[in-house]
Amino acid sequence: MRVLLLCNSFGKGWAATAHLAAELAEGLADGGDAVEVLSSNATAQHEVRNNGGTVTVHKCNSFMNSGRLQRHLRELCLLMYFCGWALKCRARFDAVICLDSPRFCALAALIIRRRTGARCVAWVMDLPSEQVSRHQAGRAIASRISGLMHGLNMKLLRRMDALVTLGRCMADVLVRGGAAREKVHLIRTWADDEWSALRIDSEAARRKFGLRERVTIMYSGYAGQWHDFRTLCEAIRPFLQDETVQFVFAVSGPGLGEVQRLVEETSAKNVVLHDRVDRRDLPTFLACGDVHLASLAREMLGTCSPSKIYPVMVLGRPVAFLGPLASQAAMDVQRTGGGIAAETAEDLCHQLRLLVSDREARLAMGERAREAYLKDFSQSAGVAAWRAVLAASNCQPDHHSRDSC
């Protein structure tokens, strides 16, 4: 099978979508498929273990990443480049996968389908225009513009042959937007299969990174506007004078400012602001945490799904999720028994106290999380479900994934 992947960025690194795109390309190539990637910000950080498949990266003109262009203008230029490339491309593909960025990327995929008959699949990991519309609900003009952009994006998505998304609540938003339920498939994100064999001791990991030997609650990753760090900070505030606990934040984004303000207000001595680590050291770094935090703002339900919980689960660490209990992350955490989920700061604080004081409960939750990941959420299972979607002759749910919506 010959597959084209359209995305803003591609390669192993900290950007979750770029990293997942690279791992999907690798997984498909390992199965013998020929994968081509069109991206504006691509690296050579991918590996094909099976010589039967290939990954070929086509990088856009460096002008697309020029600091002279504002973000929205750069995104528009990239979309135009993709569409121009699609109009000129003479290659024939069996399937085209488009990601969320640049916005309206599905337009380029649909052009290729019209010219070659390729099957078009959108990987919907975020609904950015809908997020902005909800976030700007009190600002009529901004909300209306974002709503119109979301409507235009949904018009394109409705024409795709299949939609792959991360959670049932996200699938519901797509269906309410007019997508046919039978076109929507649920495939969660994953960690590298190599992580499945890892058993990393928390104390040894903390020594490696110079952390004190205390019960460690960690947040690692991007702290965006949609992650409700203000409520998360309120949940941990009662612990900031507890010498038996430490909080480690390795984050970037707006949420970092919330954590810094909390530390300044409370003069907390048990909060560590850590730099992000090289991805090669990431499994060991994440193993420093006895419990890992994840969060989602209530108003963002159905527009995105925290992907950080699955790498944590495979390492055998419980997740403490703050956000709507109807979100996919909360449902997975509760269904597997691999952590706790709460909708309010008070409830999360209460449940964290119980975990902090009960080492055996933490270890048992971590083991349940790991077992559930290996059974249902692994990279191998995810790539197999993707291959089934790509190979399907129509848009009907496939039997390989019991999570088809």
On the question of pLDDT at 400 being above 60, the answer is no
What's the rounded Cα separation, in Å, for the pair 354 and 258?
25
What's the rounded Cα separation, in Å, for the pair 252 and 221?
7
CB atoms within 10 A of CB 184: 23
Give the pLDDT score at 74: 83
Range in 137-141, 265-269, 384-388 with the lowest mean pLDDT: 137-141
Give the pLDDT score at 138: 64
Give the pLDDT score at 23: 92
Give the pLDDT score at 63: 56
pLDDT in tens, 148-175: 888 999 999 999 999 999 999 999 999 9
Tokens of 354: 């119980």
**Is the Cβ–Cβ distance between 64 and 77 less than 8 Å?**
yes
Which whole-number Å values give the CA distances from 146 to 5, 143, 362, in the listed order?
26, 5, 42
Residue 400 in 3-state DSSP? Answer: coil
What's the rounded Cα separation, in Å, for the pair 58 and 35?
11
Read off the pLDDT of each residue in 43-72 and give the average, rounded to a whole number: 68
Task: Tell me which residue of 336, 43, 37 sits closest to 188, measured CA to CA.
Answer: 336
CATH topology for the 193-377 domain? Rossmann fold (3.40.50)
What pTM did the predictor assign? Answer: 0.89
According to CATH, the superfamily of the domain at 2-191+378-391 is Glycogen Phosphorylase B; (3.40.50.2000)
Give the pLDDT score at 49: 60
Give the pLDDT score at 395: 41
pLDDT in tens, 301-326: 999 988 889 999 999 999 999 999 99
Mean pLDDT computed over every residue of the chain: 89
pLDDT bin (cut points 50, 70, 90) of residue 391 is confident
Give the pLDDT score at 9: 87
Would 2-191+378-391 and 193-377 be classified into the same CATH topology?
A: yes
Give the pLDDT score at 290: 98
Give the pLDDT score at 152: 93
Residue ranges per domain, the chain?
2-191+378-391, 193-377
Give the pLDDT score at 64: 57
**Is the Cβ–Cβ distance between 352 and 322 less than 8 Å?**
no
pLDDT in tens, 239-295: 999 999 999 999 988 999 999 999 999 999 999 999 988 888 999 999 999 999 999
pLDDT bin (cut points 50, 70, 90) of residue 16 is confident
Give the pLDDT score at 405: 46
pLDDT in tens, 181-229: 999 999 999 998 999 999 999 999 999 999 999 999 999 988 888 899 9
Task: Tell me which residue of 28, 327, 42 sits closest to 188, measured CA to CA.
Answer: 327
